[in-house]
Every structure is written in structure tokens, then in C-alpha cells.
Amino acid sequence: MKEIESKEEVKEFSPKPAQIRYASIYLNIMDRLTQEEIAKEIGITRKTIWNWYKKPEFVRWLNTQKDSLIYNSLIEIYKVAIRKARSGHYLFAKLILEMAGAYQPGLKLDTGETELIKIEVVQAQKQEQKQEGRESKNENN
């Protein structure tokens, strides 16, 4: 019995077109619809969505879609955090310093050190963007 379960876990999930459409609408942060509204939009019943969620492979696939969305949004999140830190928002400055591994409670940094950390974070972001660009080109070829 264990062998059968292992083989099922290894089997790759191939979402149906309706599931892909569902994920696209469900993960759209700009237009939050209810499950019933999404079902109506793609021409299925709410029970169909409920049945999809009963299948672990669908849930895993949907979670990978969510994770991909979050990962692809990180650059924009970093940009906002850096912009707010530069304009004097303490919590964003703290966040940037924590991300750079340079924050210590009670430590006071002069502007020069803070600027250096900002430069390092921006450089790391640019490297990440270049890497994503290379990966995107490789996928297209």
C-alpha cells in the first residue's frame, strides 16, 4: 500500500483549463471574488471547486502557483520598502536592515553605514533581476 501512495505522490499534477482559470482569478489580489463568484465566472459549480480542494495534488499545485506569485512580487516589495526607508519610515528602515543582516537591537548606525546597506540591498536586487532575466531567456529558448 505504501508503494502505491508513493507512486501517486510522484505523479505530476496536470491542471485542467478550468483549474488554471480558477487559480488565475483566485490569486488575483486586485479583484477578490467569492468561491461562488469565481465558479460562476468560469462556468462550474462551487461543489466542483470543493471537490478540487479534496485532492492533495490540486492543493499542492495551487500552493506552488501562490508561491510563484509571491516570489515574483518580491522585487517590487523590496523597492517599496527601500523607498519608504529612505523617506524616514523607521519600520521600513528596520526591515531593510534586518533583511541585510545588519540590524541589532539598540545599535545606532550613522547615515554612512545605512547608505552602504541600502546600496548593497539594491545591488543584490539588481543581481536577482539579471538572474531572473537569464532564466526567462533560457525558458524561451
Residue found under cell 519608504 = 84
Residue pLDDT, tens place only, 5-30: 444 454 688 999 999 999 999 999 88
Q: Is residue 61 part of a domain?
A: no
Q: Indicate whether 49 and 4 sit together in one domain.
A: yes
Query: What is the C-alpha to C-alpha distance for residues 46 and 51, in angstroms, rounded to an integer?
Result: 9
Grid cell of 15 as nine digits? 491542471
Q: Give how many domains the chain has, as a whole number.
A: 2
Q: Indicate whether 77 and 21 sit together in one domain.
A: no
CB neighbourhood size of 46 (10 A): 14
What residues make up the domain containing 133? 72-141
Q: Indicate whether 141 and 87 sit together in one domain.
A: yes
Residue pLDDT, tens place only, 105-128: 765 555 445 555 666 666 667 777
Q: Indicate whether 134 and 105 sit together in one domain.
A: yes
